[in-house]
Chains A and B, each alone.
Chain A
């Protein structure tokens, strides 16, 4: 039986710019928005778009992601035919196999997976973006334009255009040229890393690319330029709406903050486009007699006994009596101890902030803080215990000793 389209979701990224948050999980498994993980967004978009066959390509610490996806039942992706599959690199006879050397190589290595559905199209997605998008509309656009490839683009502010892959497209949306991070951008249409390809065409370009030992096997660097040079019809699909790359601590924090406010910039409370997730088995959250919660998201299983403002409190997190949490993100099952102060911080999963501790205070004289990844956001990794009455300065990173990634910044 044939599928019209197969989705390949690139979830291999180690997400090193997210620092200690990804020390034991791949980036797409990082929590977001009170009860979700980043990968819930592309997966829910797929299901809501009616696309039911998804390969998740991963090679970095796949356990958390694998356990999280399970059979795909939480996204309605437990199908008899199709569904969600985790595709790690593998070894073959003779050839010995290899790690994914680039985004295109990851798809190339899994061509047999795609071929078994004999699809007309493939949709390539990244696992580290937060957005709601109807891919079915993009597919319609692709078919109407008779394109070999369609690239979703977003208008970005001109002054930021130099940070993106920029598409220069004519009025008919046909892409004339493509520049990766141009110094002087000719357009402000940034690639969102979402591609629809004609599968047969993509397959032949990937085959040629694979034969080229100098290629870095990347969509942006190799495949798309090669297709453009050969004169394939490639079109830019304009997307309007919320889209954020949450690949850095700063952008992850900002995107969480976008969920707050009177009219949130990103409103997930949308019956027509629900985001699905593996829901925790926990009671409603409890707000105690002495608590104060304003401008915040609070999830089931959480307990708030202190003061929470301008913050996102995840499933099962606990803010104890007298504690103050401001402008912060408290990840699942983390605890903020009694009378502790947490300001502009991200507290990792299962971490415990000791009583009377201060997080995010000013850098004290003589103190050296390596805030290369964090800016002014204080970052506590997963499973960290901060002792009582500790002081963690603004921008600092605290991590547990981890044999795979020692706590350099701690």
Chain B
């Protein structure tokens, strides 16, 4: 177990890549996998590794995140000592409360960082969904004497459109990073950062203060890319499943991957459970006319129609005669009688009136915004 590190999770980045899904929430608060939010995965990874102090840097749209996390009790982070610290921006004479990038955000929480008693920090951006054991990563970090250890995974996919924070690692045979590329048009490596890194707290303080003093604000571009030659940066490979939240398409495919039992076994490994806010919904109820196949269904759903290859979040109601295929339906949405949906993502509280038809495509799922009626 990790007993000398705290977690620091940076949320509130400026991105429009998830379009309507991040209209009223940060990427960290995006619903995923039937009952989770993106943040649950990294938070659970930290807690499962024995981390008991987690700082959560927020900037904008953090209301739904705070509502979700509460006191942190579902993650056992409601502690007298340590626990979960939500760090919203506030204005001081050296801090405008508006962040240009992660360096600004980290600079604003240096007070929290200095007060923590742990020597190491596990810094992350919760835009990658994965269940990773951080203990061996920490062990490797200590054994190699690296300055920074970056979690990476082999990732053949390349998303050039609205490419952002695509950090590629080029490593020697010992795993030391010899070169880095950010948002490369033709990346030279399939090894892509998972936006989780371990470093000494003192080093983070130094790097952030130094970059801030130079007026820099982008953590990846202004710190990692400029420093990789002088710092000893090592890679640590993640072997398991991962889904990146960087476009509607990757969001859709990441969810759909959960219909594979092997992926379920990896992401929902009972030895490293994923915790989330409890809603006290009843068990899902199937009617006599229900026809469900190849789907993940959360508690509180009522299913009276046909559902095939879908992810249904809590409290979804599929009325008689409705047919849904290859779709993601978020909490509390309702699909009316004889409606027909294919390749759609319904955000929370969407109402599909009886008989309506919506059809997207594999590569272009239709997204219906929160609380809309179709």
Task: Name A residues whose Cβ lies closer than 8 Å to a Cβ of B.
Answer: 33-35, 73-74, 259-260, 262, 264, 268-269, 274-277, 279, 281-300, 312-313
Q: How far is the CB of A76 from chain B (nearest CB, A)?
A: 10
Q: Is the CB of A283 within 8 A of B280?
A: no
- The dominant DSSP class at the A interface is loop
Q: Does B282 contact A (CB under 8 A)?
A: yes
Chain B interfacial residues counted at CB < 8 A: 39
Cβ contact within 8 Å between A282 and B268? yes
Write out, one digit per residue, whether chain B residues 253-289 have a CB within 8 A of any chain A CB (1) or not (0). Answer: 0000001010010011010011100101111111111
Contact (Cβ within 8 A) B283 A274: no
Q: Are A297 and B285 in contact (CB under 8 A)?
A: yes
Residue B35 lies at the interface, judged by CB distance under 8 Å to chain A: yes
Q: Given A269-B282, A279-B280, A293-B292, does the pair A284, B33 have CB atoms closer than 8 Å? A: yes
| CA of A52 to CA of B264, assembled, Å | 39
**B286 x A284 contact (CB < 8 A):** no
A294 touches B286 (CB 8 A): yes
A296 and B34 contacting across the interface, CB-CB below 8 Å: no
**Interfacial chain A residues near B294, Cβ < 8 Å:** 287-289
Which of B35, B288, B302 makes the CB contact (< 8 A) with A294?
B288
A-side contacts of B285, CB under 8 Å: 259-260, 264, 269, 296-297
Q: What is the distance, in angstroms, from B326's C-beta to the closest C-beta of chain A? A: 13
Q: Is B298 an interface residue (CB 8 A)?
A: yes
6 A/B residue pairs, CB under 8 Å, sorted by A? A283-B35, A283-B264, A283-B274, A290-B293, A294-B288, A294-B289
Residues of chain B lying within 8 A (CB to CB) of residue A268: 282
User: Are B296 and A285 touching (Cβ within 8 A)?
Assistant: yes
- The DSSP consensus for interface residues of chain B is loop
* B295 contacts the other chain (CB 8 A): yes
From B264, B284, B290, B296, A299 is in contact (CB under 8 Å) with: B284
- Cβ of B344 under 8 Å from chain A: no
The one of B73, B264, B297 in contact with A73, judged by C-beta atoms closer than 8 angstroms, is B73
Interface set of B (CB-CB < 8 Å, partner A): 33-35, 73, 259, 261, 264, 267-268, 270, 273-275, 278, 280-300, 302, 311-313
Please report the C-alpha to C-alpha distance between residue A264 and residue B268 in the assembled complex, in whole angstroms.
32
Task: Assess the B35–A293 pair: CB atoms within 8 A.
Answer: no
Instruction: Indicate if the CB atoms of B283 and A33 lie closer than 8 Å.
Output: yes
Contact B297 A274 (CB under 8 A): no
Query: Cβ of B259: which chain A residues have Cβ within 8 Å of it?
Result: 286
Say yes or no: B292 contacts A299, CB within 8 Å. Answer: no
Output the least CB separation between B253 and chain A (Å): 18
Known: A279-B278, A286-B296, A295-B288. 16 other contacts (CB 8 A): A34-B282, A35-B299, A74-B278, A269-B281, A274-B280, A283-B34, A284-B298, A284-B312, A287-B297, A291-B293, A294-B286, A295-B290, A297-B283, A297-B284, A297-B286, A299-B299
Which among B35, B283, B296 has the greatest number of chain A C-beta atoms within 10 A? B283
> For A277, A291, A300, which residue has the most chain B Cβ atoms within 10 angstroms?
A300
Chain B residues, CB < 8 A from A295:
286-288, 290
CB neighbours (8 Å) of A277 from chain B are 280
Q: A298 is contacted by which of B283, B287, B293, B313 (Cβ under 8 Å)?
A: B283
